[in-house]
A and B are shown apart, each in its own frame.
Chain A
């Protein structure tokens, strides 16, 4: 097993990084929403997929990749905001109803997407300037995947700045730490919730477009992605965006190397480590909230 050439380690490490970047883009939104609102938004995979489909339509209409990202993000954010305002808000303190609601919405979005975009799997083309490969030490690696890592880092920094350096970020962090106190201090919790839900949905939508060139867009993308988002957030620790960031890359490495080195365990390679981690440390690696 350890007699593999350098090229193998190099390419799989790069694969791990790019998968990690993709996972962060997928799960950042989920982590935010869960951390602040304690809502496991089980429609998150569906938002991701919807973003990819919307991005596809925008690209087909002739606009650029960047425009597709923004439009998809905003469209999903708008939808998320409406859902939060009219559905989620009424279910405060009722986690089971939240499960029913978010899963119901996931069904609706998934089936609706089938109706609008047909059941055919579709390719989402990456931007022209990112097509092709980088060559390094005899290994070729797609430019686009490197870009995904870069974008993930940019988003991570942006979110960190938002949370640490802005007033809104401070309010969010206060809410995550102690909702009652935050309310008591006069933080407009309702408005904050809607904002965070919109932001989380925006990230999901943009993530879908960014993931498109790697994952393609097909019915079932939502149910393939949701468990991954859950694993990242739980492993990294609820309530910690840094945890989601680190968790994404750890999962990226475990998934990639696990599949390669232990092919017989491919179906379980994500969940076995997660069980082990949770059994030892139920709040995840960096979690601030007890599980």
Chain B
């Protein structure tokens, strides 16, 4: 997607608070957090060709680390944020060693299992995680002394972080390294023959994906001021994967669109449709039947056809 379009989107996003009340601003914050989360997974799924069903683990661990450092040591966010990111990235580095022993369905299963182990740990390690009660009484950071308690300031904070994240992820994905990554996705054997270390490329991507997931985890815990083992559940990992696929894995903006669709359906449509889980299922089914590459490529195709007919 070209640069001007992205800038237009960013500007529009910045203007949302002018037309909407607190509720919609909060909803937009949630969409942004889900978008960063989905984009991080897309590094693996879309650009790397590695489908992971355990991505919620990194978001959750980052959130827990931030909360735990605050509650246990009274640590401020200036210190706890980088520590949480570091801790999660190290965990991703460790897990990547195990997960990348396989690819395809084996990779899927290992990531699922790792995610489930962490979920179980979050439940059982009560002294650290407070188990099923979750960690509450958490705070939002105060960058440059600005109070983020209100919906509006928090939204702009999240918007800035999200834009930075998207730009970095785009830079990563469309760099030379990103090209090699996409090569390993499409033709792993040829890339090996060309002398690339396919494993290392994937490993670096795995860690990077974990890092950006950790960023979304921080935004998540700042927004909710609460973290519960449910954040690491399989349903969460499945949901972010669905966001990525529904939006379109091959594109940068696809996961963002997918995140928006799922968040809106869950939070907004659920107020009007009682059986919204079923509706969500039908939406996915329809996307798969009519736009199997995802919403963004599908809508792009429709638009092209539309444009061609007008021309």
Residues of A within 8 A of B (CB): 34, 40, 87, 90-91, 94-97, 99-101, 103-108, 110-112, 114-115, 223, 227, 230-231, 234, 238, 264-268, 270-272, 274-275, 278-279, 282-283, 290-291
* Closest A residue to B124 using CB positions: A267
The residues of A that contact B245 with a CB separation of less than 8 Å are 96-97, 99-100
Residues of B within 8 A of A (CB): 45, 51, 98, 101-110, 112-114, 116-117, 119-121, 123-124, 234-235, 238, 241-242, 245-246, 249, 275, 277-278, 280-285, 287-289, 292-293
The verdict on A104 contacting B106 (CB below 8 Å), with A227-B234, A267-B120, A278-B101 known, is: no
B59 CB to nearest A CB, Å:
19
The residues of A that contact B285 with a CB separation of less than 8 Å are 87, 101, 104-105, 108
Asked if A95 and B51 make an inter-chain contact with CB atoms under 8 angstroms apart, the answer reads: yes
The residues of B that contact A94 with a CB separation of less than 8 Å are 292
Asked if A268 and B120 make an inter-chain contact with CB atoms under 8 angstroms apart, the answer reads: yes
The verdict on A91 contacting B105 (CB below 8 Å), with A111-B278, A227-B116 known, is: no
A-B contacts, 5 listed (Cβ < 8 Å)? A40-B105, A103-B284, A268-B120, A271-B114, A291-B106
Q: How far is the CA of A278 from the CA of B102 in the complex (A)?
A: 8
Asked if A283 and B45 make an inter-chain contact with CB atoms under 8 angstroms apart, the answer reads: no
Given contacts A100-B245, A274-B110, 15 further A-B contacts (CB under 8 A): A34-B105, A87-B289, A96-B45, A97-B292, A97-B293, A104-B284, A108-B285, A223-B235, A265-B120, A267-B120, A271-B112, A271-B117, A275-B114, A278-B106, A291-B107
B123 CB to nearest A CB, Å:
6
Asked if A107 and B287 make an inter-chain contact with CB atoms under 8 angstroms apart, the answer reads: no
Question: What 4 A-B pairs have minimum CB-CB distances, sorted nearest first?
Answer: A291-B106, A267-B120, A104-B284, A107-B281
Q: How far is the CA of A108 from the CA of B277 in the complex (A)?
A: 7
A221 CB to nearest B CB, Å:
15
The residues of B that contact A274 with a CB separation of less than 8 Å are 109-110, 113
Asked if B292 and A90 make an inter-chain contact with CB atoms under 8 angstroms apart, the answer reads: yes
The residues of B that contact A108 with a CB separation of less than 8 Å are 278, 281-282, 285
Asked if B249 and A96 make an inter-chain contact with CB atoms under 8 angstroms apart, the answer reads: yes
* Closest A residue to B109 using CB positions: A234
Q: How far is the CA of A231 from the CA of B292 in the complex (A)?
A: 28
The verdict on A112 contacting B103 (CB below 8 Å), with A97-B288, A223-B234 known, is: no
